[in-house]
A and B are shown apart, each in its own frame.
Chain A
Amino acid sequence: LAKTTQPISMDSYEGQEVNITCSHNNIATNDYITWYQQFPSQGPRFIIQGYKTKVTNEVASLFIPADRKSSTLSLPRVSLSDTAVYYCLVKNSGGGADGLTFGKGTHLIIQP
């Protein structure tokens, strides 16, 4: 299975905008990209999903370039409570649900 690649960790400060990029070179042509947030000892929680261009909801934005080989999760004005691990989820081309691949996650640490 092709990999998804994310930075292992990132640091930022309260009130800043944070962008986390996931590379997924072998993504299926007809399916979504989804991002999740996970706190210690909890299951992942859905943040946002998109197919192309830009999607925005009340907590984040998702930017997807035309070739869809990467996606960027944007968190506006982060707070300490945004400290968590963030995962992208895609489906690799040629597979069914068994092609679902989570990235290894980006540990985001927000400082005061």
Chain B
Amino acid sequence: NAGVTQTPKFRVLKTGQSMTLLCAQDMNHEYMYWYRQDPGMGLRLIHYSVGEGTTAKGEVPDGYNVSRLKKQNFLLGLESAAPSQTSVYFCASSVAGGPREQYFGPGTRLTVT
């Protein structure tokens, strides 16, 4: 039982490049979330999903897209990376929605130059 895994762990992009971050969970959770964490800002919700085939915007969705084609996977895409998207990205999943117990992945450290 791996819990929540994220791929890749580190990435460096040039401004304007695109990439996809993959989150996978093996706990059969309905809810999945993408957060970004910046120094002094805590965690901010980017997008979330309440089930397979659904996605919704969080607090800071601009510049990101997501897809949840399979229940166990939640993908976060950056179509045209900007230096402001330099951050640590965390994926999480939960059985129930709202501020309930969430299981977090180890994070992806992204640098955009």
Contacts and interface: CB of A to CB of B under 8 A. Distances in A.
Q: Which of B4, B98, B105, B107 has the most CB of A within 10 A?
A: B98
Interface string A26-65: 0010011110100001111110010000000000000000
Interface in A82-104: 87, 89-91, 96-98, 100-104
B11 to A, nearest CB: 15
Interface string B11-44: 0000000000000000000010101000011111
Contact of B44 (A33, A36, A42, A102): A102
A87 B44 CA distance: 12
Nearest to A27: B99
B105 to A, nearest CB: 6
A104 B40 contact: yes
Interface residues of A, number: 27
Nearest to B6: A43
Given A103-B42, A104-B40, A98 B99 contact: no
Contact of B42 (A28, A42, A98, A105): A105
Interface of B: 4, 31, 33, 35, 40-45, 48, 50, 56-59, 90, 92, 97-107
Interface in A1-46: 1, 28, 31-34, 36, 41-46
Contact of A44 (B45, B56, B90, B97): B90
Contacts of A96: 56, 97
B101 A31 contact: no
Given A90-B99, A102-B43, A105-B42, A43 B59 contact: no
Given A43-B105, A45-B104, A102-B44, A31 B59 contact: no
B99 A42 contact: no
Contacts of A102: 35, 42-44
Contacts of A28: 98
B45 A41 contact: no
Contacts of B33: 97, 100
13 contacts: A34-B101, A43-B106, A44-B92, A46-B103, A89-B99, A89-B102, A91-B98, A96-B56, A97-B50, A97-B58, A98-B56, A100-B58, A102-B44
